[in-house]
């Protein structure tokens, strides 16, 4: 069995998608369709723009989806590889869930691009810049990080409660916390005391996947209510539940919950393995999920497809 997985924010880089567009007319059409849907030359920003502009959440989210769907369309239309027929499951890391649902024909490409643009803007608006932060705590497991986050919520000087919670359970020993900046700083200090190998403050513009994102969740509930979701051609392994989902109403609700909820990626990969998946195929920019898969389960095969040579190698092997 095979599952197709789709990367989240952090995998973006200037130049992504350019070689696909140069090599495959089908990929060019995807980028043009996304540009038209957003009334924005997003592809130009992706291919040759400024890294700071590409990293903005409102741009990075639809851009990463566009690269993933360009790979999907090339495999399908130029390689004769029908993803819907070959996938036992699909999954995506945070925004990657939207890419996964588009690939599985639950969402149309235009709607997916517009939803991700709106999601990025809503997340950025939810918290003033500098108020929140995220940090990766390395060398500690989820339950230890939960306890650290809970202890870090209280400001020792004022006694006031702030937000601090696990945001991404990415792999064994790699958990990200999110919340108010001072609370995240306290979590980093506590993690060091409790034996964390290292902690890294992440270069993000907002504290994703925590309660501070509730205004963005409310906006996405409205946005998702305005589009049609079809049953996906392959079940989605949800970030929120780490279990298969095929009902459009449940998927719509979980996409809203995902904005403030923990991304249970480690559990999601383990769940796919338990369901019989032997190979993960990462479609899109970078190889982050491929690397995480190997840390989660060394016996799980994982391959990343994001460049023309990788597309051709994959199709030859089929």
| Extents of the domains making up the chain | 2-126+212-317, 132-204
The pLDDT-based confidence of 132 (bands split at 50, 70, 90) is very high
Residue 222, by phi and psi: left (phi above 0), alpha (psi -120 to 50) or beta?
A: alpha
Buried b (16+ CB within 10 A) or exposed e, 131-162: ebbbbbbbbbebebbbebbeebbeeeeeeeeb
Are 198 and 57 in contact, with CB atoms under 8 Å apart? no
| pLDDT score recorded for residue 135 | 95
Catalytic residue among 11, 68, 209, 238: 209
Model confidence pLDDT, tens digit, residues 207-259:
999 999 999 999 999 999 999 999 999 999 999 999 999 999 999 999 999 99
What are 264-305's pLDDT values in tens digits? 999 999 999 999 999 999 999 989 999 999 999 988 999 999
pLDDT recorded at residue 316: 80
Whether the predicted pLDDT of 170 surpasses 90: yes
pLDDT of residue 50: 86
Active site residue 180: no
Q: Please tell me the pTM assigned to this model.
A: 0.93
**How sure is the predictor about 318, in pLDDT bands with cuts at 50, 70 and 90?**
confident
What are 68's two structure tokens? Answer: 């993933």
Please tell me which residue in 11, 94, 99, 205 is annotated as part of the active site. 94
- Return d(Cα 13, Cα 49) in angstroms, integer: 10
* % the chain with pLDDT above 70: 100
Neighbouring residues of 292: CB distance < 8 A, sequence distance ≥ 6: 170, 171, 174, 265, 266, 269
Average pLDDT, the chain: 93
Is the Cβ–Cβ distance between 98 and 65 less than 8 Å?
A: yes
The structural architecture, per CATH, of the domain 132-204 is: 2-Layer Sandwich (3.30)
What are 115-129's pLDDT values in tens digits?
999 999 999 999 988
pLDDT at 281: 95
Verify whether residue 209 is a known catalytic residue: yes
27: pLDDT strictly greater than 80: yes
Q: In CATH terms, is domain 2-126+212-317 a member of 3.40.366.10? A: yes
- The H-assigned helical ranges of the chain are 18-23, 25-38, 42-48, 51-55, 57-73, 83-86, 96-103, 109-126, 142-152, 181-193, 214-224, 248-260, 265-274, 288-296, 308-317
């Amino acid at each position: 069995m095979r599952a197709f997985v789709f990367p989240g924010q952090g995998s973006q880089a200037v130049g992504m998608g350019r070689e696909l567009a140069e090599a495959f007319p089908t990929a060019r059409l995807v980028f043009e369709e996304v540009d038209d849907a957003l009334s924005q030359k997003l592809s130009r920003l992706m291919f040759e723009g400024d890294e700071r502009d590409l990293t903005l959440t409102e741009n990075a989210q639809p851009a990463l989806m566009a690269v993933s769907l360009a790979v999907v369309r090339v495999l399908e239309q130029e390689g004769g590889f029908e993803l819907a027929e070959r996938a036992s499951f699909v999954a995506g890391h945070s925004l990657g869930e939207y890419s996964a649902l588009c690939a599985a024909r639950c969402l149309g490409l235009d709607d997916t691009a517009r939803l991700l643009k709106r999601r990025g803007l809503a997340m950025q608006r939810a918290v003033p810049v500098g108020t929140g932060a995220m940090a990766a705590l390395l060398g500690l497991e989820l339950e230890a990080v939960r306890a650290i986050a809970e202890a870090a919520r209280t400001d020792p000087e004022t006694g006031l409660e702030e937000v601090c919670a696990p945001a991404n359970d990415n792999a064994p020993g790699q958990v990200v916390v999110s919340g108010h900046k001072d609370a995240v700083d306290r979590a980093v200090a506590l993690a060091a005391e409790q034996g964390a190998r290292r902690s890294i403050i992440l270069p993000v513009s907002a504290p994703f996947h925590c309660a501070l994102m509730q205004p963005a969740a409310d906006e996405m509930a409205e946005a998702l209510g305005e589009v049609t979701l079809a049953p996906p051609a392959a079940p989605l392994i949800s970030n929120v539940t780490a279990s298969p989902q095929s009902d459009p109403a449940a998927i719509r609700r979980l996409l809203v919950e995902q904005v403030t909820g923990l991304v249970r990626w480690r559990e999601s990969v383990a769940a796919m393995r338990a369901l019989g998946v032997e190979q993960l195929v990462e479609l899109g920019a970078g190889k982050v999920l491929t690397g995480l898969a190997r840390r989660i389960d060394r016996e799980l095969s994982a391959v990343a497809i994001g460049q023309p040579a990788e597309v051709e190698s994959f199709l030859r092997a089929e």
